[in-house]
Copies of this chain bind each other. A is one copy, B any other.
Amino acid sequence: AKSQSVAKETNKRAVNYSNRGKSLEDDLNETNMFYLHRNMANIHKKPVPIQIVKVDYPARSAAVIKEAYFRTPSTTDYNGVWNGYYIDFEAKETDSKTSFPLKNIHPHQMDHMHSVTIQRGVAFFIVRFSTLNRNFVISYHVVAKWFSAMGEGGRKSIPIAVFEQDAIEISEGYVPRLDYLQAVKKLIANY
């Protein structure tokens, strides 16, 4: 009965969500709220790290940050827990129709994910090919192979054929908007 009512809700809300053009981040935040409220997972986007330089404390109102700078994140965009597994991922969008450019990935993000896998966490990327409207969950291990090949003079992007072969595609258009947890479960099963 429970899965039926979710299915109905899905149909209803699919109308509202049918408008394209939402960012991957928006879709993931909505999806994470969906998981959280249904006790399916506890995964959050981390706040953007800020270097605060000057704060005003006006009488009788909230503190105002008057000067601050964006800092480079030392980790990934999202982390959390599902069913005892530590989940850690980075979300990336590309306009390319043919491949995912590795320049989108910072070396420190790879270092972080390497460290996560050493601690037996589950690390991956969610990559959206915006123009194609296709989304993939791709394991850190697959990306790492291409990333180090690039370091040794290999190509600077991962062809979409690799995603089709070695990653897990997520379809859009229902609630949750981008049900990546299904793909993560498959990823874990193959770990």
Contact = CB atoms under 8 A, between A and B. Distances in A.
A39 interface: yes
Interface in A70-95: 70, 74-75, 79-88
Contact of A121 (B42, B49, B64, B66): B42
A115 interface: yes
Number of copies: 2
Nearest to A119: B81
B121 A84 contact: yes
Given A84-B121, A86-B81, A86-B86, A115 B42 contact: yes
Interface in A106-128: 112, 115-116, 118-121
Interface of A: 36, 39, 41-42, 44, 46-50, 62-70, 74-75, 79-88, 112, 115-116, 118-121
